[in-house]
Amino acid sequence: MSDKVRWYKRFWNFLKDVRAELKKVTWPAKNEVVSTTVVVIAATIFFGFYLFFMDVIFAWVITQIKSLFG
């Protein structure tokens, strides 16, 4: 029976520790979050288009090779 009591006490202590650690975190400023988010979105769009066009080019090359030897 004491194990059942202990698990929720341990869980409660864990939550207290989490809260204490979160108070120590240095949170970024809003402008830093916005700027890094814009960079991530721009990079994602760029690499998405890049990979799309590379896929189209490689598919065309493979089709041409297959038509030569097939």
Which bin fits 2, alpha (ψ -120 to 50), beta or left (φ > 0)? alpha
Residue type, 48: G
28 sits in the region (left: phi over 0; alpha: psi -120 to 50; else beta) called beta
Q: According to the model, what pLDDT value does residue 46 have?
A: 98
pLDDT in tens, 44-54: 999 999 999 99
Residue type, 42: A
The Cα 70–Cα 67 span in angstroms is: 5
pLDDT band at 7 (very low <50, low <70, confident <90, very high): confident
Judged against a pLDDT cut of 70, whether residue 5 lies above it is answered with no
pLDDT band at 70 (very low <50, low <70, confident <90, very high): confident
